[in-house]
Amino acid sequence: MHSSISYASGPADKALLGTPIGELFDNVTQQYSKRDAVVSVHQNTRLTYYQLSEKVNALAKAFISAGFKKGDRIGIWSPNNIEWLITQYATAKAGVILVTINPAYRLHELEYVLGQSGCKGLILQNQFKGSNYERMITELCPQIVDSQPGKIRSPKFKNLTTVISMTESTMGGIYDWSYFIELAKCTTSEDLENRQRDQNLDDAINIQYTSGTTGFPKGATLSHHNILNNGYFVARIMNFTEEDRLVVPVPLYHCFGMVMANLGCLTHGACAIYPSEGFEPEAVLEAVEKEKATALFGVPTMFIAELALSNFSKYDLSTLRTGIMAGAPCPVETMKQVNDLMNMTEVEIAYGMTETSPVSFQTRVDSPMNKRVSTVGRVHPHVEVKIIHPDTEEICPVGVMGELCTRGYSVMLGYWENPEATSSAIDANGWMHTGDTAVMDEEGYVNIVGRIKDMIVRGGENVYPREIEEYLMTHENIEAVQVTGVPDLKYGEEIIAWVSLKEEGSLSEEKIKEFCKGRIAHFKVPRYIRFSNEFPMTVTGKVQKYKMREISIKELGLKEQKTA
């Protein structure tokens, strides 16, 4: 369908799923009871759908016995493991809202999230990397030490009564996992069925805190309907069946892991495979080979790290067919290597945001290669999108850049107890304003140009970092690149490129600038080049450009310019 304006609505050959997560979970586990549901390689554990359902039902009953009511919040603070998955489905069955907490959070952020969401419970892993979660929570809430499990009283966290360890705890007031599960005996299967019947598909079931670049994170509140359908349609577009086996190196606390991976697998009776607690490139390839995986998810930086392994070629990746690269723009070269060297001929790009459950665009298996590398695909089924002029809010003509907005089943219920932020993100007509600049072509393919806030204004010219990054990635010696703006007295802003080389010292600053001259507009040629093997990132693999900017300003001895 050709349109002259930048508006599209996603045609669908399949209706939306009109059930809460718990009900669908029961139907799927009945249908695929003997098939693998999950494999946790680092825990050396695998569960069929039947075995998973036994554990999920036990935990859901334990929540009910422990006094968790529908609509109560329980936080989960842990890297990837089987207990995480069990908790995800058990909370959905008990109608308890799961608050997913970034494993990298420190005390200040944890305190904010627990308080703002009003968590009644917290499930944690004792330790991960440099974080001792038990020590951190008892530092914030010293009452835990002298409490009985389930009877915490904290003046700081009015709602918090219950902390549960995923293993065994050394603290008096924290439940051991196995001890907490024992509480299931006090709740009957009939009680659980009644609780499930009390669920409505539009009920809130998940709060995810989006890491803003400024200020406190906001709790995007998502319903059963939001996330179940999004997981289903992402996997459906990938042609998933119960035969698929998906390796999941992305964190579960984020939509990529818990919605696109976990719920994508659940809705198709497929198997989710966790290679390691946190991302380790070699563990990913080992899991693909060992478990004969057909699909692999990741952000571009993950795929780049896997491809860069010195022993990459020793791994048998011949079972791979598809996967998704999302979370950040994908360099064209990386996409080609994933196609050719990882056998992922059907790899797709997806785009979205936590507030839209998350995906609103996806490339298709039959999208032409040039569209698969230069766009984020077309609009998702049952979703509407438009690109508007940021000042007038009029819909832009096709080919004209503006702000991307999306509307439909996938738009969040709102930011948890933050009506002001909600109304500034979702307008009166139900459109979610993404803050991303985008361009739509005549066939409805969309290219995300960048964040409105990432745009560099150099001497009155608007410069989008992505354009320069894509160009520099075509150089054979460049492995990864990120571009941002830094203040400049003459032009207002100048451009700095952080460049990671395949071989150290193989390129000089002059050579990179030479490579740009005459090939991209003079005002897009970076004034500064910084060689770096690492970029500041969020746990989900998104590059934090504001941190790059801060570091660059300090290193170059520049000062922020005051703008009128």
pLDDT in tens, 77-132: 999 999 999 999 999 999 999 999 988 888 888 999 999 999 999 999 987 877 89
pLDDT of residue 186 exceeding 50: yes
Phi-psi region at 386: left, alpha or beta (left = phi > 0; alpha = psi -120 to 50): beta
Q: What share of the chain is helix, strand, coil (3-state, %, to 5)?
A: 35, 25, 40
pLDDT at 563: 37
pLDDT score of 389 more than 80:
yes
Confidence of residue 564 (pLDDT cuts 50, 70, 90): very low
Q: How many helices (H) and strands (E) does the chain have?
A: 18, 29
pLDDT value, residue 2: 53
HSE (side-chain half, CA atoms, 13 Å) at 131? 20
The tokens of 461 are what?
A: 């010219």
Please say whether the beta carbons of 198 and 94 come within 8 A. Answer: no
Count of CB atoms situated within 10 Å of the CB of 58: 19
SS3 326: coil
The mean pLDDT of 231-251, rounded to a whole number, is 97
- Domains along the chain? 1-16+378-454 (2.30.38.10), 46-218 (3.40.50.980), 455-556 (3.30.300.30)
Strands ordered across the beta sheet of 322-325: 45-48, 36-40, 271-274, 245-247, 295-298, 322-325, 348-352, 359-362, 378-379
For residue 524, pLDDT beyond 60 = yes
Average pLDDT score over residue span 26-38:
98
**In terms of residues, how long is the chain?**
564
d(CA 381, CA 448): 19
pLDDT(381) > 90? yes
Dihedral of CA atoms 145, 150, 151, 155 in degrees, nearest 10, equals 70
The model's confidence at residue 214, banded by pLDDT at 50, 70 and 90, is: very low
In this predicted structure, what is the pLDDT of residue 95?
98
Residue 562 has pLDDT above 60, yes or no: no
This prediction's pTM:
0.86
Rg (alpha carbons) of the chain, rounded to whole number: 24
Give one DSSP letter per residue of 68-96, joined into a string: PPTT-EEEEE--S-HHHHHHHHHHHHHTP
* pLDDT for position 539: 67
Quote the CA–CA distance of 251 and 259 in Å, as a whole number.
11
Give the pLDDT confidence of 324-362 residue by residue, as tens digits: 998 776 777 888 899 999 999 999 999 999 999 999 999
- Give the pair of three-digit tokens for residue 364: 């298709």
What gap in Å lies between CA 112 and CA 48, rounded to an integer? 37
Structure tokens at 128: 């991960």
What's residue 537's pLDDT?
85
Contacts for 73 with CB less than 8 Å, ≥ 6 apart: 96, 97, 98, 99, 117, 118, 119, 120, 121, 159, 207
Neighbours of 174 (CB within 10 A): 26
Which one, of 39, 69, 82, lies nearest residue 272 by Cα?
39
Type of residue numbered 141? C
With CA atoms as reference, report the closest residue to 322 among 246, 264, 232, 242: 246
Q: What is the mean pLDDT of residues 215-234?
A: 93
- Nearest Cα neighbor of 262 from 231, 308, 299 is 231
Residues 324/280, Cβ–Cβ less than 8 Å: no
Kindly report the CA angle at 378 between 375 and 381, in degrees rounded to 5? 150
Residues 131-152: pLDDT tens digits? Answer: 899 999 999 999 999 999 999 9
What are the pLDDT digits (tens) for 450-500?
777 787 878 777 787 887 998 899 999 999 999 999 988 878 889 999 999
The answer to whether the Cα torsion of 168, 174, 178, 179 is positive or negative is positive
Please compute the mean of the pLDDT values over residues 418-426 and round it to a whole number: 95
- What is the average pLDDT score of the chain? 93
Name residue 339's amino acid: N
User: Kind and range of the H or E element at 210?
Assistant: strand 204-210
351: nearest Cα among 324, 315, 321: 324
Give yes or no for a contact between 75 and 171, defined as CB atoms under 8 angstroms apart.
no
Q: Taking residues 23-39, what's their average pLDDT?
A: 98
Decide which of 526 and 301 is more confident: 526
Average pLDDT over residues 177-190: 98
**Sign of the dihedral through C-alpha 249, 252, 257, 258:** positive
Tell me: cis bond preceding 251? Omega within 30 of 0 counts: no
Amino acid at 345: T
